[in-house]
Amino acid sequence: MPVLHNLVSNEELRARMLAETEPRTTVSFYKYFTLDDPKAFRDALYVALTRLKVFGRVYVAAEGINAQISVPASQYDAMKAMLYTFHPALDNLRMNIALDDDGKSFWVLRLKVRERIVADGITDDSFDASDVGDYLKANEVNAMLDDPEAIFVDMRNHYEYEVGHFENALEIPADTFRDQLPMAVDMLQDNKDKKIVMYCTGGIRCEKASAWMRHNGFENVYHVEGGIIEYARRAREQGLPVRFRGKNFVFDERMGERISEEVIAHCHQCGAVCDNHVNCKNDGCHLLFIQCPTCAEKYQHCCSPLCMEELILTPEEQRARRAGRENGNKVFNKSRGLLNMTLKIPESDR
């Protein structure tokens, strides 16, 4: 029986990926459909993807599949053909090919079974996830952006919205998708007569969000087909104005795809114009935040003087300092401030 999980260290796998000479293609895809045995589906898919030297992050659940992967360019067509025949629901599956791709997005294949492919917190048994809003193609998105009766709703997290979004899009200021769903319903209650346009990175969140809005009495609901990735690709192919401002955050090593040259975010430490997301270099923190090159040098790639101090301690001293302390949210939120987002240090260690 083949091994159905990785046995090699992350360090070695990353080194192997960086040593590859063949270019890779980064692609994302998802599909809502019913799986009776997600575990068996996962195991068979792991074997098939491993044979094609695919890396990435894939989630499988009874409600479908959600994947962000990297595949050798020579294997892309074979991978697509395999997926199209792997399950009837995956026939002609839409592939969102990365826009700004260096081929170094992943170095290991992680394929997990989860309760949901997107954590939504929905417990209402009467909710029908298939009752989605109408798809909008790139030209229709641009037309909607000029429609005074349309409201664009960004169904991504605050740190994604901060570096890029559609013109005049409404931000739902929550840390998680599960929190955004009820918040979006509340924020838009007085606009049920408007056209509600949901969008996200690749389509998976906004498609479910559109169904949730319909479930809560909104009738004129739309969502951007294929999300920001597909919109930007099609708009460029068709010579249309690209109306997305800034960078599209992505959940891999790249941390972002440049959509427009406009930089709309700022360094969280000094306020300089910048949209470069990084993780704090301190292993006990790894906070995700925006840092400019000047602050990266000044703070030694850390989010705060506190983490700079901890970074130079011996491993034993670091473990002693972290023991028993409370972890904070690992993403910067401007409403809470940068220093408040670092891991909490016991009074005795301050």
Q: Which residues are catalytic?
A: 200
Burial of 28 (0-12, 13-18, 19+ CB in 10 A): buried
For the CA atoms of the chain, what is the radius of gyration?
A: 21
Return the half-sphere exposure (C-beta side, CA atoms, 13 A cut-off) of residue 271.
Answer: 1
For the record, the structure tokens of 51 come out as: 């044979």
Whole-number Cα distances in Å, 173 to 35, 138, 157: 33, 26, 7
Cβ pair 321, 342 in contact under 8 A: no
Neighbours of 129 (CB within 10 A): 18
In DSSP notation, 58-117 reads EEEETTEEEEEEEEEGGGHHHHHHHHHHHSGGGTT---EE-SS--S-S-SSEEEEE-S-S
- State the Cα–Cα distance between residues 90 and 93, nearest whole angstrom: 5
Q: Which residues contact 338 (CB under 8 A, 6 or more apart)?
A: 268, 269, 289, 303, 304, 332
Distances (CA, A) of 122 to 58, 208, 286: 21, 11, 30
Quote the crossing angle between the two packed helices 177-187 and 204-215, to the nearest 10°.
40
d(CA 73, CA 53) in angstroms, rounded, equals 11
Distance CA 187, CA 183 (A): 6
* Amino acid of residue 177: F
CA angle, corner 172, sides to 166 and 177, nearest 5?
105
